[in-house]
Structure 1
Amino acid sequence: MNYFEVAIEKKANSLKNDINFKKAQSFFFKKEWDSTLVYSMKQLNTNTDLETKQYCHYFRGYSLIEKGLYNQARIEFNQINKSFQYYYLVDNSIGVLFYYEKKFEKATIHYLKAEKEILNHKDESKIADLYANIGICYLHLNQFDKAEFYLKKDALLNPKQITKSVIQSNINIANLYYLQYKDQQAIHYFEKAYNLSKNIKDFKLKENTTFNMAIVEENRGDFKKALVYRKESEKWKDSLNNQNKIWAVADFEKKFAVAQKQKQIKVLEVENKLKDTQRNSLFFAAIGLLLILTGGVYLYGQKVKNAKTILLQKNKLDELNATKDQLFSIVSHDLRSSVNALKTSNAKLSATLETKNYDELHQLIIQNSTIANGAYSLLDNLLHWAMLQTKQLYFHKESIHLYSIVQQIEYNYKPLLLDKAITFENSVSKNIFIFVDLDSLKIVLRNLLDNAIKFSNENGKISFYTQETNPDFCDLIIEDNGIGMSENTIKELLQEGELLAKKSNSEIIGTGLGLQLCKQMIKKNSGTLVIESEINKGTKMILSFPKTIA
């Protein structure tokens, strides 16, 4: 929380009776701009003090900028008196308005007014952005010395870890030198931005840095390299477009699922009313029976019933405790191993920082990410397994388009596939609809794809495809050409009642919890699982699910 946000929170706490200001402040923090506009206007329509009005006008001006309504935003900022304690933020926001309108001289005037106060308040969240904006304004004004001064100050303020702002800072400095025909200095920063972008998942930024490298190589006359960079840029552009399509489909599915669940809730409410009526009838009937039965027979029956209930509960509790102890023992061992591996890797990372061996640093960062992802997957599976065991996991079967779901899962694991250069092939029939629970299906496919990636070699291949051996069921095959497994391992994995299993490869050991979770969820969806595998020849996971009845 920055300096200004702390001040806003204190102001809201001091206005105990002004509920509209508190709501406006809350929605402002949540970046819900429409709600911020509504409640700040409600507060302005009340009999409120000058300082509170200044805050409300700032909320409205900032929200209108975010919504792209620049003229209305300027009107709100003009309502704020220069005696306002945080007027430097108003100057900064007006600078942003001129910046968007490409009036760079006016933008610079307001930015420079804001600079001194922002530095005095040590508002670090604003300083870096301010320097970047001033530098870009001077760049557009062809005042290159001033632009270089501020852009380099922006770069020095950025964190040491790789972030989008760090990469953008390098791009800005590169453009500065490029416009001055200082190609060697510009190329250094273009290359630095490109190399840093490999470690982030922002497809848009990756496309930008790769395109810049294509231009650099064209200017150098190396058209072969330029073509490679242009192809990579197009790949990231396609990935961004495909990701947007997948998100649109997912958003539609989410809205559809909400609508279906709302209908289901209404049906359940009617059913609950009927059950209440039945329960009341049974209650009064039970009272009548109790009056007829003798006290002795009643007490004896209750005693026998209680004894049976206690015995069943004891047996169930013993079984759950045994399972819990076994699970905690192995999961804690795996988590401890992951944490220890992360600790060891971080020690190497610290040592490597001193030697400035960037290749090794890159490998260690990837290794740390892999360890963290493994621990996260283990905890995620543990949560779903616990919910399944305690019957808290909600199942709702519906008609699902299988090809779209596989496509979504592919994009979730795109970075891991690219990291091991694994080819992914989605050959699932686009005409197949199966009748399953969507959330549990995604959990199953994520676990099986994660295993396939884990046990595949570099430059391997993973395929999803369907076949029809039964008119009422669809077989989904997940095939890889990885390390495979023996028949004994397959039998152990498919054995009923076994919570945990070990893989035959001594270097890759897991709890088997993920596969157990998959087996139980496949069973609850009326499906089956078959495993076919050979050592060093790969593995086939054959899942069979009921089709949607037309």
Structure 2
Amino acid sequence: MRKVLALTFAFTCINLLAGYASTQNIKQEQIKVDSLKELNKVETDQFKLVDLSNEIAVTYGIISIDSSLVYSKKGIELAKNINYTHGLGVSHSYVARANAQIGEMKVALEHYDNALEIFLSEADSLNILDIYRGMSYVVSYSGNQLASLDYNRKALDIAEKLNDSLSLSIIYNNIATIYIGLDNYQPAIHYFEKTLEIEKKSQNPQDMAITYSNMGILKVKHKKFKEASADYHKITELLPKIKNNYTVAYLYISLAAYYTGINEFELPKQYLSKANEICIKNNYQHILARVYRQYGELFLKEKKYKKSIQYYDKGIELSETIGISEEFPRIYKMKAEAYAQLGEYSKAYKSLQKSNVALNSLESKKVATFLDEFEAQKAKEELNQQKLELALKEQQAENATIKINNRYHIAIITIVLLILLISIVTRFYLKSRQNNQKLRYQHKLINEQKVLLEENIQKLELSESTLQKLNATKDKFFSIIAHDLKSPFSAILGFNEELALNYSDYDDKERKMMIRVVGEAAKSTFSLLENLLTWSRSQSGFIEINKEVHSLKKLVEESISAYVGAAEIKNIHVNNSIADDINILADKETMKIVISNLFNNAVKFSNAGGEINLACKLNNGNVEVCTQDTGIGMSKQIMDGLFQIEKNVQREGTAEEQGTGLGLILCQEFVNKNNGEIWVKSEVGVGSELYFSLPLYTTN
């Protein structure tokens, strides 16, 4: 009965039944089954026959779920015939586990309830602990995360008292995944890390792989792909050591989701193909529904929209067949995106409506579940009360009969009443103790809710900070339009009107000077407008990042070509010492904007006859590119405000060139989008060094 049971959400895995023999191969388990069947044929003790049926059922867990169900149901029938309550509880628990694995969650919960009632009456802590873990998984699969959390907390209280490290690791894992469902990142990571601390001591590859998968999925969901990379590397190391098909299928789905998220599409297809084969062979219907869903996401990313829709529909059809609907809002929403990309906006709109209906339906189910649980508990309490009243009446009648028929038994009746009184006092004492335990639990729950409230306050403060930044962005935008964009037009229009009305009043030299001023103003205005448009597209999310392999030197030369003339006018010497054989993985268009802006700034703030050096160096798998000038440099105050749009750090260049400070804001955003960083070193009167890093591309 004491086997691994792990709760997980969205591409995570539960060791249900299949976990019974996760460290043994199927051949060994078959040998064990055959041996147990031979014993079953010759055994005459009915109680031992029940235990044998249960042992065969649990051994069959990794080989055949159907066979496991047959023997666990046989155990129920035998145990009922001989009134063997403990064996009956074990049989119910194994039937529940097998049904959960094939997606029959309602049937599984009914059998868990039957098993729990028996083990509670026996005060069997070990089996009560396992039942609570199983029930937490079943109710979570129907979307009732709060009920799942309650079962896990009950299990946690028992595991802590027993000092059961294996159960503690599983329960921590379960609680973490519930926090994922509640969209609470930090507590989830905290509990996963507690799980790993225990699992690393036992060195069980299956348990460790499940936890790494859970952490990886959570990080991918929050776009922390770099942090998730280490978790998925661990999974690929542990996979060959795992013999459990159920676990392996889920891990393949998890790996496919990660590589889809980082736009590497060949590996997801291989992993999903393997998961699909395992699910069909073993009849893992609810996992197969997730496989179809993940195929849909993969083809959506690859812009194969029709194929994506086909797999989403297959996932919906299978989920409806087995009665699982918690992923419908997400699936319909992604279908709508695919339809929109195909230009089928009517279907996209209908799909979005279905997403909203599915979301509302899930919320209604949660409410209905709470009401059903309340009514069921109420009915159970009323039934217990009726049984107690009936028992008391029967006892009173029996006592009266004994008193009438035999006065000599008064002493015995007195003793019976005394025992009954002691029982009532004992019952009240136990009830009071139970109430105290509930109060302690409620106090613990209130403290946890307090922590959640404090975290929500921190989120609100972060939202307020973000809003202030957005407001500063808006002010900056209007300031540029009102002043920086308007001023050059004043020069252009003024000189143009003067030339148009009084052309003959000026000599050729004056007219050329005025035309040059108009030209410079037009160039400045065009550059500003180009930055504004690029910034606007970036803020609106319309810029797509298409990472490809590029020669760093060629990319730099192409990016600065338009500004080399400006450097020559100021007699600035440009040195490009970047090696020819350095390749990077980046989006070409955004990085051209970054490099051209940094080079233009170097030209702008360099004195006539100065020098600009372009160089790079390798550092831990990245390339660090440096644009160094011998210009006027920057103070610490200016450097602190360079990449903050709410700070005003505009300065004129050494030839009175104008700027808005917007270029470096764009540089920072585009470097970050290409998985790099940007920073600056400078000293007033000495010059500046602007650095940015990008991932190095290697063929190894």
TM-score, normalised via structure 1 length: 0.43
Rg comparison, structure with higher value: 2
- Bigger relative contact order (CA 8 A; separation at least 6): 2
Q: TM-score, normalised by structure 2?
A: 0.35
